[in-house]
Each structure stands twice: as C-alpha cells, then as structure tokens.
Structure 1
C-alpha cells in the first residue's frame, strides 16, 4: 500500500487491543522535539496529523493522560503503546506514525520545537522547521504545523 493507492489507513497498538482506521488520505508525518514528547516516546515523536474522523476498536483500552492545559497523551492501557496526542482546543487527533500498519508512502514534512532538539541526532531530510514559540503562535491561529511554509 502507498499513500496514493490506499482507501483506508489502519493501525493499532503492539498487543492488538486497540485498532484504528481512517478513510482520510494521509501521506505526511512530522517530528516533535519538545521535551515532553521526547520523554514520552524516548526520542522525537513522529506523528501524522489527522483532520477527519478516526474509527477505533478497543477504545476501552485507551488511557488518557492530561499532560498540559491543551493536550492529552493517549496510550494502550494493556501494552503501553503511545497511540496519539489529542489537542483539546481543536479536537485534533495526532497519531503516532509507528502505529500505522503500513508506513510506505509517508514523507517527512516538518519538525517542530526544533529549538528543543538535543544535539545528539539530526534528520537528513530537508523539512520545514519551527521553534516552540512559532508552534504556539500558529496553534493560536488554529493552523496545522504541517501546512506551514
């Protein structure tokens, strides 16, 4: 499958207790280097912004942790897989790239909180980058960081 030919994207957690599907065409992912995402995912958090509905099975196994005034970090209560980041003000679901069954066809489009990235790693991809201040300014305007620049 590739982003151009897939009609429904699917994925889930490590143990299979939580599954998702979405009909929206997705082809881009971004990396968040903020300290909370790095602590939560043990490195940069690779994410897919979803604008349409996500259909879940096994929702009873999704635990939510309110990590800030504006967001929840959601994970499988059985195996601990980081499933998604939920933006409370916009209702946006930001899925973990690693949870997708098929990751072929995805392209890295951006990096946020680049000012918090530790010096020990660098992505070779030439992407749009934003500082934390730029991200907060953009979300205040209700925009998607993947659409910037």
Structure 2
C-alpha cells in the first residue's frame, strides 16, 4: 500500500490523542542506546513531520534528550508520543500508537552499530550506522 491517509491514535490512558498523515508507510527501527533506554528495546517509528496534531496538549511533557532533539510523552500514563528534532525538521511517532491496521512496511534500521546481539529482525532493511544517518540527513536527502 502506498496511499497515505489520516491516521488516529492515542496514548495508553487516552489523555493525549493524535492525528497524523505519515510521510510514508515505512516503519523504521532505531537501535541507539538512548531509544533502547527510553523504551526498553528498539524504537519502532513512523515519520510524520508537519502532518501531526495533538489533542490534550496539556498532558504532553517534553524532555530534551540532546542538544538537537527532544522526546514527548504523556504526563498521565508515560506513553512515548514522539521523537523530534528541535528545529522541527523531523518528527517520528511510535507506530504502536496508531489505531487499526495499515499496510506498514519495515524498511530501515538506524544506529545499527549500537544494536545489541540479543535480538534481530528477519526483514531485509536498509541498515545505517549513526554516522551514515547523520551524513544522509545533512545532505538533504
């Protein structure tokens, strides 16, 4: 499926609801230590960027996880809501927040050099190191 349509989702307690039109139907996994520490495993996300809105903004708490990025979560239940660059040029939403079934395609794994040996995925994906990821985005692709 290549058609993108508006998707709805929510946090675990329902205090925060979101509406998004994903940039694509591609799911990416981040294996960096920060994402694994934040969620206990790889972060499985969908890029949403500017096509994302929230209801219940008063329940969203931001955590500046680096000089260039921040993470949002629900202050009521702790659900992870997004990872975004502070310049707002990139925003990723955990794919599990979305309701219903969508024809997602697992296409990319990043910070592959930080992936621990105790898990692996069988899907064939593009695998990028952190250095390769930063180089790709600094070139505007």
TM-score, normalising length from structure 1? 0.87
Q: Which runs of 4+ in 1 moved over 6 A?
A: none
Gap change, CA 1:90 and 1:59, over 3 Å in 2: closer
Partner of 1:50: 48
Q: Distance in 2 between matches of 1:134 and 1:52?
A: 24
Task: List gaps (5 residues or longer) in structure 1.
Answer: 144-149
Task: List gaps (5 residues or longer) in structure 2.
Answer: none
Provide the secondary structure at the position in 1 that maps to 2:132: helix
TM-score, normalising length from structure 2? 0.91
Q: Distance in 1 between matches of 2:130 and 2:38?
A: 17
Q: Distance in 2 between matches of 1:117 and 1:39?
A: 12
Partner of 1:130: 128
Q: Distance in 1 between matches of 2:69 and 2:50?
A: 18
Q: Deviations over 1:95-139 (max 9, x none)?
A: 011111124311101000000000000000000000011112122
Structural RMSD (CA): 1.8
- How many residue pairs match? The answer is 141
Q: Distance in 2 between matches of 1:67 and 1:121?
A: 25
Report if the CA contact (8 A) 2:23-2:47 is conserved.
Answer: no
Q: Please, which of 56, 62, 79 is the counterpart of residue 64 of structure 1?
A: 62
